[in-house]
Structure formats: structure tokens, C-alpha cells
Structure 1
Amino acid sequence: MTTTNATPTPEEPTPSDVERGLADIDAFLTEQAPAGRVPAERGQTKRVRRLRGEVSEAHALLELQGDEAPLRVDSPRVRKRRKAMRQAAVLHRLAQDPDARAFQAARVRRVVVGAGMVALMLALAWSTAGVQAFAAEGAPVWSPGWVFAWFVEPFLSLALLTVVGAKAYLAVRGQPIVSPTLDRIEWLFLGLTFGMNAWRHLPGIAETFSLSALVLHVLGPIVAVAIVRALPPILAAFTNLHHDDAGASSETTSGTSSRPFVPGVPPTGSDLHGKNPAATLSRAVRKRSRQEVTATVAEPVKPTMQAHRDQLRALVTTGEIDPATASVNAVAKRLGCRWDRARALLAEITTNSHREGER
């Protein structure tokens, strides 16, 4: 038995369906059709359109040029310079601090002492060869006399360095040694070193006199003498430095001397040694009168850093001094202060003016 599947027969479209389909096709074709070309206005040529674009661009540029915002933006070079100026101002203010000045003075003093001691050691080592030749007196090489001659200069140098080191250290601590005995000891050691170096090269002693050989052999002792005599005063000057703004001692600051006045005692007849008593007594009275005047009259107090700063600000406010064009010499003369203080004050007020201008 076979089964047959019947295929359904489509229904025929009605006239309304045909009309609707034709309407849809017409709408679709209308949408897909290209837009019609809009007719150009008369006179709108390519040259006119280009000129109209240039005019519009010019109006836009004029409107934007009136805005100063781009001019206020700092370039990388300006920012780099501003940063360098700020750092320089901070370093300058730090350099004016008393602690910074004390640190700088201590560092310079350490360098000076180190350089001086190195020069002294080299000078004494330079003279060691000359002293050895003087002490050996032609002894054979590596003989006991030749070997021991090398130790003459070192123990003289150690003794000299002991005296120099003690005087230098006490000068740094504010207690310089004033002792003729130590001075004579220094000159004795230096004289021995100088004599033993120069003896074999002096005229009449040397077989053939040579000025260059004599100068080279006495160069070491001469440098040693210079260092020994110069180092203690230099260290004493470093110790007496004042790192504050006042920069004055206690006597100058207070205006009077801290030592009490001790009236003079008239000399007796035994102290005059045959001199005129009246003349000696009158000189003692005049000296005592001068001492009384010096003790009672106060010395003028030097203006402080703050006083000079206020005076400079007043001059700048009144327009008598222009920080941008004023020289350090003119400011120092007007304030009556030192050049370093005038330079510091001028840099400070210039930096403050720049900051106020930026704000």
C-alpha cells in the first residue's frame, strides 16, 4: 500500500495584494535612487568660495588672538630658569645662616690645616736628604753611620711638629700660646735643619759653588719656617670669626668694656730712678684721665642686619633706590655697611620683588 503526499496549491493573489506589492516596490526604488543635484547659486565660483574661507579664517584668528591664555603659559626654558632662580635664592638664604657660615669656616679651616701640614711634612722630607748627606760625612753606603744619618732629620722634625701642633691646637681653641721659650725652640730646630742642608753648598765650603744647588737644598727649611710661623695666626683668625649678624665682640656690643677700671697708683721715689717726680706723676695722672674717659664714654653700636634691611626697604619704597639697576657699591655707601652685607640685602630684596610680581 503506497502513501501519496499532496503538495498544497498556493492561492492566487488578489488584486489588492498586487497593488500593495507594486506600492512597496515603488517606495523602495524611490529610497534607493540618488539625490538630485541641487542647482548652484549664480556667481558661487571656486574663487569666491576660497575667498569666503579665508575671510572666515581671519575672523576666527582675530577672535582667538584676543585671548592671552597662551601667553601666560610658561615655556620649558622659562620653567627651567624659574627653578634655577628659586634654588639660587634658597642657597643664598642658607649661606647667610650663622650655622652655615660656621660650617663653611670649619671646612675651610680643615682644608687650610691639612694643606699646611702636608706642605710642612713635604718640606721636612725634602730636607731629609740634605741632612743625611751632612750627617753621614762620606760614610760607606749601608754602614751604621750612613743608616743612622737618615734618622737625624726625622727626630728633629717630630720635635718641631710637636711644638707646632700644640700651638696650632691651642690657637684653634682660643688659647694661643705666647711663649718666647717655644719660639726659641722652633727657631733652634729650624736653624739646625737650615744649617745642615746649606753647609755643604756654601761658598768656600763646596768644591764648586752652585747657586741653584744651594737654593734647592735650603728650599725645604724655608718652606718649613714659613708654615710654622704662618699657621698659628691663621688658625687664631679662624677662631675669632663671628658668624652672626652682629659680628662684634661682647665689648663692642655692650658699648663699654667688661673689665673694671683700676685707678693708677702714683709712683714712689724709689720707682723713679732719678727722674723728675712731678713730670712722672703728671704723666700718670693724664694716662689715668684718658682711661677714665675711655671707660665711661660708650662706643657707638653698629647697626644690625635687620636695621640695614629696614633702611633698604624704606629707600626702595620711596623710590630712592631701584633694586633692578642699583649697584652693590651704591647700596653699601647709602646704608653705610660692608659690601658683603649690601650684596646679600640687595639679592634678598630682588628675590622678594620677583615673588611679589609672580603673585
Structure 2
Amino acid sequence: MMTTPTPEPSPDDVARGLAEFERHLAEQVPTLPEALPVESGGETKRVQRLRAEVAEAHQLAALQGDDAPLLLDTAKVRKRRKQAREAARLHELGQDPAMRAWQAARMRRLLVAVAMVSLTLALAWSTAGVQAFAAEDAPAWSPAWMFAWLVEPFMSMALLFVVGARAYLATRGQPIISRTLVRIEGLFLALTFGMNVWPYLPWSLPQGETFKVSGVVLHILGPTIAVAIVLALPIVLSAFAALDHSQGGGGLTGLTYSANAHDPVRAPGPDVARLIDRARTLIAAGELPELPSAYRLQRALRCGMDDARVVRDALVKEAT
């Protein structure tokens, strides 16, 4: 058997084999980690970061024992302190006589507006009832039927004229004390009340209709409210006019006080006659109105409110 001789490798084959062997060894040996960078002084960045953290901890430990930050007011505390100071100043301002007078005037205007609106609506409510009474059996849209709508408005305007005059003068501390005006108000209210209720009473109902209490109540609602307002408004306004705004708001006081007087309060006694004579002299001289209020008398005579009321009642009795 004959053997074929192996060809001798060339120099290029040898160089190629060595290159492949080196590449194989490079792939098998693991890559060594790169050395950490070294800064000047022989410390790595990691060492420097840890050193800075330790230095910061020492500084924080030294400052943590200082209570100065705890003494500072937070935003919430400053807000509450501002609100408390504002409330205290508002309370102090509320005790000022000028502020108390302004508050009373504002409340008086509000009450008068509410009362007049309520009175107007009450009279308007009764307009339909009065129209039914005044029109009787007149055909709709006939002259009699249309003129019946004017009965309640012109009575209401006359009533509002009297009430408005009494209310305004009461706000000025000079309430009108006149039985004639009281009778006029009573007449208007009685006419309105009667004309509203009469068609719904049992003897006024058409034959075949049953009497209903609800119908009567609904039609007396307007006149009843009007009567209440007409009677109450002058009394309320007179009380506002007699307010003493120099009195403190610390609590209720009795009927006898002398905030505007320089002498002590005294109970009604024999000297009331002298006060009545003094009041007559001031009225004759034009320093007091013909029928002054108790508040005006107290200011002019410098007496207690009880004495001023006695003098006022005596003057009213003499005038009537």
C-alpha cells in the first residue's frame, strides 16, 4: 500500500494559524476590570464621596442641638396671629359709638325696607279680593269691572302715606302721637279687611256654594299682615331713635341709666314737676319739639331715663 506524502505548509499558512490561535486565546480569557480612577493624593472618587458624607453628618449633628428654628413662626401661625389681631381690632371698633350708630342706621334701613316691601305685597295680595267685592256682578273688562281694580291701590297709597310719614319722623326721634292718624289707619285697614272677607262669609255666598274656612283665611292674610306692620313699624323705629350708642355692649342694662348725664340716676320723685316745667320752657324757646321723645328729654334735662319717660308722658297728656 502506498502512502501519499503530506505537503509541507507554507510560511503563510503558519502565520495564519498563529493568528487564529491568538484570537482563540483572547476569546477564552475573561476581561479584567479596569482600575478605579485615582485622583491626586491617592484617593478614589468613592473615598472622596464617603469623606464628604461623614463631614456633612458631623455638621448636621452640631446644628441639630440648636432650637433657633423652633422659635420661628410658621406660615400657619402667622396667619392665625393676623386673624386674631384683626378680630380684636374689629371688636374694639364695634364698641366705638360712631360705629354702633352706623350699624344701627344700617339695620334700621334694612328693617324699614323689609317692612315696606312686606306691606306693599300684603296690600297687593288683597287687591284681588277688594276687586271682587267692588265689581260685584259686572262683566269682565267692562268699565265697572276695570275701575274696581283701582279701589285697593288708592286706599293703599293713602295708607302708605300715613305710615311712611309716621315711620320717617320716628327715625328722627320725633314720633307723631296723634289719635287722628291712628283712626285714619284703622279706617283704611278695616275697609280693606271687610271688603276682602265679605264675599266669602256664609251669608254672602251664592246659593249652592259651601262655606270654606280656607277661603276666608287666604283673603284675610293680606290685611292681617298690613295691620301688624302698621302697628309695629312706628314702635320699632321709635326704639331705634331712643338708642344710646355710647352704651357699651357688655350686657343688658336696666331701664334706668344715665350714660349721657353727668349726674347720677335718680328715681322719679318730687323733682319731676321741676323737670316738666323745665321741659315746657325749652319747648317754648324752640330748643325742644312740641312732643319730644324720652331720649331728647334725657339729653336736654340731664336726667335718668325713667324721669324722662314721666316727663314725656306728662307732655303728651297735656297735648291731647
Match of 1:118 in 2: 117
| Residues 74-223 of structure 1 mapped to structure 2, 5 A cutoff | 74-206=73-205, 207-223=209-225
- The structural deviation recorded for 1:54 is 7.8
Q: Residue 227 in 1 paired to residue 236 in 2? A: no
Residues of 1 paired with 2:182 and 2:39: CA distance?
118
Match of 1:60 in 2: 59
Moved more, 205-214 or 215-224: 205-214
The SS at the match of 2:203 is coil
The SS at the match of 1:94 is helix
TM-score after normalising by structure 1: 0.56
Residues of 1 paired with 2:96 and 2:156: CA distance?
41
- The structural deviation recorded for 1:204 is 2.7
CA contact (8 A) 2:95 2:248 kept: no
Residues of 2 paired with 1:200 and 1:111: CA distance?
37
1:179–1:37 Cα change, 3 Å: closer
- The structural deviation recorded for 1:159 is 1.3
The SS at the match of 2:202 is coil
1:150–1:77 Cα change, 3 Å: same
Flag structure 1 segments of 5+ consecutive residues without an equivalent.
1-33, 41-45, 264-297, 300-359
Q: 2:263 aligns with which of 231, 254, 263?
A: 254
Match of 1:240 in 2: 242
**Structure 1 letter corresponding to 2:189:** L
* Percent of residue pairs bearing the same amino acid type: 59
Q: Deviations over 1:29-56 (max 9, x none)?
A: xxxxx9998699xxxxx9xx97x98876
- The structural deviation recorded for 1:112 is 0.2
CA contact (8 A) 2:247 2:259 kept: no
CA contact (8 A) 2:135 2:148 kept: yes
- The structural deviation recorded for 1:105 is 0.7
1:36–1:101 Cα change, 3 Å: closer
- The structural deviation recorded for 1:161 is 1.0
Residues of 2 paired with 1:260 and 1:169: CA distance?
34
Q: Deviations over 1:212-270 (max 9, x none)?
A: 1111111000000010001001101111111114694467652256995549xxxxxxx
Residues of 2 paired with 1:151 and 1:80: CA distance?
62
**Structure 2 letter corresponding to 1:110:** R
Residues of 2 paired with 1:35 and 1:59: CA distance?
24
Residues of 2 paired with 1:262 and 1:225: CA distance?
38
1:73–1:36 Cα change, 3 Å: closer
The SS at the match of 2:204 is coil
Moved more, 240-249 or 107-116: 240-249
RMSD: 3.2
**Structure 2 letter corresponding to 1:233:** I
Match of 2:307 in 1: none
The SS at the match of 2:115 is helix
1:241–1:54 Cα change, 3 Å: same
TM-score after normalising by structure 2: 0.62
1:68–1:141 Cα change, 3 Å: same
Residues of 2 paired with 1:252 and 1:66: CA distance?
64
Moved more, 113-122 or 236-245: 236-245
- The structural deviation recorded for 1:65 is 1.6
Q: How many residues align?
A: 225
**Structure 1 letter corresponding to 2:162:** V
